[in-house]
């Protein structure tokens, strides 16, 4: 594998890495989109190194596929302020990155797959739903319900996993976590600025306003290309049952995979799932079965021959 720095022109220019297999090109390629927040091209945050897109890029290159991954706005080599970017801005970024990837001489522009994790999965579906030419879409830990509904679902899942002193304080204050989340949503929807302070915290308000009303089912219903959807049975941020919605909604060929014990980090966990467990999970590599499933599916969709 060799890696080449790439800049996606536009406002702002996106700094990225093109990973190329050692086989002679032009090669089929996968455009990789990370999750939400200030993540770099490797899906790493300054406080949490998820490494999802980096692991995928390396696994794809080993299997004969190229890939492009890039720093989000205001992160790494990409200028800007991540808090001022809306969900639609990020979808536009992914779309122009696809155009750059498809135009590379090392890449077969007719065989480009979009693959995203969490928020990146929503963006991949949204871009493909526009009719942008793609060979397929990979949805890793993708929600299939409106953003507001998803965040309230998360509140119900996360509440029981909070530390005992926090749960005790919430009971003492008679605080309903889901109701508090819903109230904050109304405050966010009432804002008009890109960034707003809610509960003493500076939020990317425009992103939240767009996310709260975004319904992924509209995009899923527009997809006629092959789709692979993978979610873990212990995901606390995306309902595993949404895999059934994906399968019933996408118009093209769909494969779904529910991975036992897999969490939102794309690592497996024994025992109850908990966001507090992310730190220990991230010390391990991305689950090899997930990588193998994605790579194998991309090879089939892009008609890359398997070695005999």
Q: Do 185 and 51 belong to one domain? A: no
Q: Do 23 and 106 belong to one domain? A: yes
Q: Do 130 and 15 belong to one domain? A: yes
Q: Do 136 and 171 belong to one domain? A: no
Q: Do 271 and 130 belong to one domain? A: yes
What's the pLDDT at 170? Answer: 41
How many domains does the chain contain in total?
2
| 79 has pLDDT over 80 | yes
Q: Is residue 284 part of a domain?
A: yes
Q: Is residue 308 part of a domain?
A: no
Q: Is residue 307 part of a domain?
A: no
Q: Do 73 and 87 belong to one domain? A: yes
Residue 66 belongs to domain with CATH number: 3.40.50.1820
Range of the domain at 183: 146-214
Q: Do 118 and 257 belong to one domain? A: yes
CA–CA gap between residue 115 and residue 199 (Å, rounded):
34
Long-range contact pairs involving 298-302 (C-beta distance under 8 Å, separation at least 24): 298/28, 298/30, 298/60, 298/63, 298/65, 298/113, 298/115, 298/136, 298/138, 299/63, 299/64, 299/65, 301/113, 301/135, 301/136, 301/226, 302/28, 302/65, 302/108, 302/111, 302/113, 302/135, 302/136
Q: Do 141 and 153 belong to one domain? A: no
**What percent of the chain clears pLDDT 70, i.e. is strictly above it?**
93
Q: Is residue 306 part of a domain?
A: no
| 305 has pLDDT over 80 | no
| pTM: predicted TM-score of the whole model, two decimal places | 0.93
CA–CA gap between residue 190 and residue 205 (Å, rounded):
10
pLDDT tens, position by position, 18-63: 999 998 879 999 999 999 999 999 999 988 999 999 999 999 999 9
Q: Do 96 and 205 belong to one domain? A: no
147-161, 256-270, 282-296: which range is least confident on average?
A: 147-161
Domain boundary among 214, 247, 269: 214
Q: What is the mean pLDDT of the chain?
A: 92
Domain boundary among 214, 230, 247: 214
Q: Is residue 13 part of a domain?
A: yes
Q: Do 179 and 225 belong to one domain? A: no
137: β partners? 114, 227
pLDDT tens, position by position, 190-235: 999 999 998 788 989 999 999 999 999 999 999 999 999 999 999 9
Copy the structure tokens of residue 18: 């093109």
Q: Is residue 237 part of a domain?
A: yes
List, in sequence order, the alpha helices (H) in 190-241. 205-213, 216-221
When comparing pLDDT for 241 and 155, which is higher?
Answer: 241
Query: Please, which pLDDT band fits residue 182 given cuts at 50, 70 and 90?
Result: confident
Q: Is residue 37 part of a domain?
A: yes
Q: Do 7 and 84 belong to one domain? A: yes
| 172 has pLDDT over 60 | no
Q: Do 107 and 24 belong to one domain? A: yes
pLDDT tens, position by position, 226-247: 999 999 999 999 999 999 999 9
**What percent of the chain clears pLDDT 90, i.e. is strictly above it?**
79
pLDDT tens, position by position, 98-128: 999 999 999 999 999 999 999 999 999 999 9
């Amino acid at each position: 594998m060799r890696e080449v720095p790439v800049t996606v022109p536009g406002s702002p220019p996106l700094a990225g890495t093109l990973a190329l297999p050692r086989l002679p090109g032009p090669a089929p390629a996968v455009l990789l989109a990370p999750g939400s927040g200030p993540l770099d091209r490797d899906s790493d945050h300054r406080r949490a190194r998820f490494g999802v897109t980096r692991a995928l890029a390396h696994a794809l290159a080993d299997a004969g596929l190229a890939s492009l991954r890039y720093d989000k706005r205001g992160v790494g080599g990409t200028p800007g302020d991540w808090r001022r970017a809306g969900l639609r801005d990020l979808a536009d970024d992914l779309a122009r990155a696809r155009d750059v990837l498809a135009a590379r001489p090392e890449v077969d522009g007719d065989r480009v797959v979009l693959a995203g994790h969490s928020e990146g999965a929503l963006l991949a579906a949204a871009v493909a739903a526009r009719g942008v030419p793609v060979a397929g879409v990979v949805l890793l830990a993708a929600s299939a319900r409106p953003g507001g509904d998803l965040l309230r679902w998360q509140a119900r899942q996360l509440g029981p996993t909070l530390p005992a002193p926090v749960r005790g304080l919430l009971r003492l204050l008679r605080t309903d976590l889901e109701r508090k989340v819903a109230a904050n949503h109304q405050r966010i929807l009432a804002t008009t600025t890109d960034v707003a302070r809610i509960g003493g915290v500076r939020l990317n308000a425009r992103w939240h306003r767009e996310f709260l009303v975004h319904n992924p089912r509209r995009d899923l219903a527009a997809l006629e290309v092959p789709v692979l959807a993978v979610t873990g049975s212990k995901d606390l941020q995306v309902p595993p049952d949404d895999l059934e919605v994906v399968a019933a909604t996408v118009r093209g060929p769909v494969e779904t995979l529910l991975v036992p014990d897999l969490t939102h980090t794309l690592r497996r966990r024994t025992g109850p799932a908990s966001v507090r467990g992310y730190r220990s999970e991230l010390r391990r590599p991305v689950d090899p079965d997930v990588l193998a499933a994605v790579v194998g599916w991309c090879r089939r969709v892009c008609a890359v021959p398997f070695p005999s």
